[in-house]
């Protein structure tokens, strides 16, 4: 592994406590190409998925080097950092922490030994059976992963890395080891990993987090989003299927299925997480957000003078609302593009500071106007509360808030920063009570049915747990909801429901 000072080593620095992390992963197999630079641009395109740390691992066929550090991709990497990363295979990762520490030890890719070499791994998602996996490894193989992992990177990622390396028998191929290990993992995982000669990509049986395959002139690329393929000039081929392991080496591309597919893609990817220029399940994210805005205009009309977005993630839905309502669209807020997403900062103090740094109203546009302010979601309510106050101070006559997702009432155990029910403003409050808390003249959320309709994906193929409490994947005995034990068996996926 390597720190930002350019020192390269090969130690495994895994960790004790597993965060729920929303991350971006990228991998490339391309002999004759500068794979480190391709990966740099790939994870640069995925920067929105994680802004705390970035890392790249490369293999030249004989050894794997990893360089990673805290910060944005452009802060971690320069020519000096990229130059030693030579080879024909690379894996890249961007991360932000939620329940785990924001520290260098938690940066990815992780690195570990195998029976035949080394494995470097990047993970997007969150496992729900990490403790059980550690116990299983100790029982089956006599390995105490708690002792081996010690300190360092997020537990679920480190456990996967240790299982791929530590459970292998002498001479066994990593591909075959992965086919044994992957069916044991529960929760959400989109993995890109490699050994000295081969690139691998795998996606959990529910396909909760996105993962796509692209073709380069002289190789292949895999990425969390199609936008990353576009940036590096790769042609989109298809999604990595839920329950699929893809192997890419000198013999070409092979596919093996380690679990039966039961798709439940995260609907919040369409609402907020993914870039608008990405396609998920062959559906444009931008088109979905535009349609959410049109549906929102039908479901919650209001007399107003101007529709403005909370930039940037609220912009497509605001355009859709303006189209659906006939109310003019305008830019009433200026965003500082150099401030990170407030939603993904690791502490409440930084979130509140970030809101003030991030947005500033255009008084000449909004003064005296009745405004419809469109945003993608309300999680804690801090952004919207500060925003309504700023707009009123700037002279807005009325402020009507419209949200292109339903109320977020349940925590996510599959990799998004909804840590506890206590943090969620919609938990226990009516819509009118939330409106009063925000200081808005009116508040309207899109319906669950309207949001799902806008994705063009059947609801039974989507995870809507953060809105409904209906979890498609077993949460595990150690997962908790507001201090209470979570269900060990998931409720049957349904349009509505609650964790018991």
Extract the annotated binding site for Mg(2+): 313, 375-376
Nearest to 96 by CA among 399, 417, 350, 367: 417
**Tokens encoding 45:** 């395109």
Binding residues for [4Fe-4S] cluster: 266, 412, 463, 466
User: What's the CA angle centered on 85, arms 83 and 89, to 5 degrees?
Assistant: 140
**Tokens encoding 107:** 């940066």
Cα–Cα distance, 122 to 469 (Å, whole number):
28
Largest CA distance in the chain: 74
Under 8 Å CB-to-CB from 256, ≥6 apart: which residues? 175, 179, 244, 245, 247
The DSSP element (H or E) to which 351 belongs, if any, is helix 348-358
Active site residue 243: no
Binding residues: 266, 313, 375-376, 412, 463, 466
Question: Which class for 207: exposed (0-12), middle (13-18), buried (19 or more C-beta within 10 A)?
Answer: buried
Q: Please name the residue that has the structure tokens 């925000």.
A: 438
Cα–Cα distance, 306 to 328 (Å, whole number):
5
Local structure of 45: helix, strand or coil:
helix
- B/e letters for 364-391, b = 16+ CB within 10 Å, e = fewer, are ebbeebbbbbbbbbbbbbbbbbbbbebb
Local structure of 466: helix, strand or coil:
helix
Contact, 166 vs 108, CB < 8 A? no
Question: Nearest 5°: phi and psi at 323?
Answer: -65, -45
47 dihedral zone (left: phi>0; alpha: psi -120 to 50; beta)? alpha
Q: How many C-beta atoms lie closer than 10 Å to residue 422's C-beta?
A: 10
Q: Looking at 2, 12, 13, 23, which residue is catalytic?
A: 23
**Tokens encoding 391:** 């707009």
What are the catalytic residues?
A: 23
């Amino acid at each position: 592994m390597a720190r930002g000072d350019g020192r390269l080593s090969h130690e495994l620095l895994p960790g004790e406590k597993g965060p729920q992390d929303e991350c971006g992963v990228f991998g490339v197999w391309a002999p004759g190409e500068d794979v480190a630079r391709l990966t740099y641009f790939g994870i640069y395109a995925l920067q929105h998925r994680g802004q705390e740390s970035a890392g790249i691992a490369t293999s030249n066929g004989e050894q794997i080097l990893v360089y990673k550090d805290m910060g944005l991709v452009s802060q971690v990497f320069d020519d000096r950092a990229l130059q030693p990363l030579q080879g024909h295979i690379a894996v890249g990762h961007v991360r932000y922490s939620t329940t785990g520490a924001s520290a260098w030890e938690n940066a990815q890719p992780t690195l570990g030994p195998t029976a035949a070499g080394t494995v470097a791994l990047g993970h997007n998602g969150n496992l729900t059976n990490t403790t059980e996996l550690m116990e299983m490894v100790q029982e089956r193989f006599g390995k105490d992963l708690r002792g081996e992992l010690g300190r360092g990177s997020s537990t679920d990622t480190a456990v996967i890395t240790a299982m791929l390396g530590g459970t292998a028998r002498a001479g066994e191929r990593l591909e075959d080891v992965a086919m044994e290990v992957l069916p044991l993992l529960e929760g959400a995982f989109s993995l890109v990993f490699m050994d000295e000669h081969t690139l691998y990509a795998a996606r959990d049986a529910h396909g909760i987090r996105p993962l796509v395959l692209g073709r380069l002139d002289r190789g292949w690329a895999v990425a969390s989003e199609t936008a990353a393929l576009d940036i590096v000039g790769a042609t989109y081929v298809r999604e990595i299927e839920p329950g699929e392991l893809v192997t890419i080496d000198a013999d070409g591309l092979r596919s093996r299925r380690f679990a039966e597919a039961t798709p439940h893609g995260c609907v919040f990817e369409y609402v907020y997480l993914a870039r608008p220029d990405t396609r998920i399940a062959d559906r444009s994210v931008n088109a979905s957000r535009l349609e959410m805005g049109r549906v929102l205009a039908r479901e919650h009309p209001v007399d107003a003078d101007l529709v403005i977005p909370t930039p940037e993630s609220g912009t497509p839905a605001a355009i859709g609302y303006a189209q659906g309502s006939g109310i003019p669209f305008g830019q009433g807020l200026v965003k500082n593009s150099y401030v990170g997403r407030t939603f993904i900062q690791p502490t409440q103090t930084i979130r509140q500071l970030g809101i003030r740094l991030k947005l500033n109203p255009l008084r000449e546009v909004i003064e005296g106007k009745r405004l419809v302010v469109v945003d993608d979601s309300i999680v804690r309510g801090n952004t919207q509360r500060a925003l309504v106050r700023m707009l009123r101070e700037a002279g807005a006559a009325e402020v009507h808030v419209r949200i292109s997702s339903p109320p977020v009432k349940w925590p996510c155990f599959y990799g998004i920063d909804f840590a506890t029910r206590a943090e969620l403003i919609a938990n226990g409050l009516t819509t009118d009570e939330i409106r009063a808390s925000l200081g808005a003249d009116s508040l309207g959320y899109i319906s669950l049915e309207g949001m799902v309709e806008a994705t063009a994906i059947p609801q039974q193929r989507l995870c809507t747990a953060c809105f409904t409490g209906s979890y498609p994947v077993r949460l595990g005995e150690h997962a908790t909801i507001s201090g209470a034990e979570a269900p060990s068996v998931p409720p049957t996926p349904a349009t509505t429901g609650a964790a018991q």
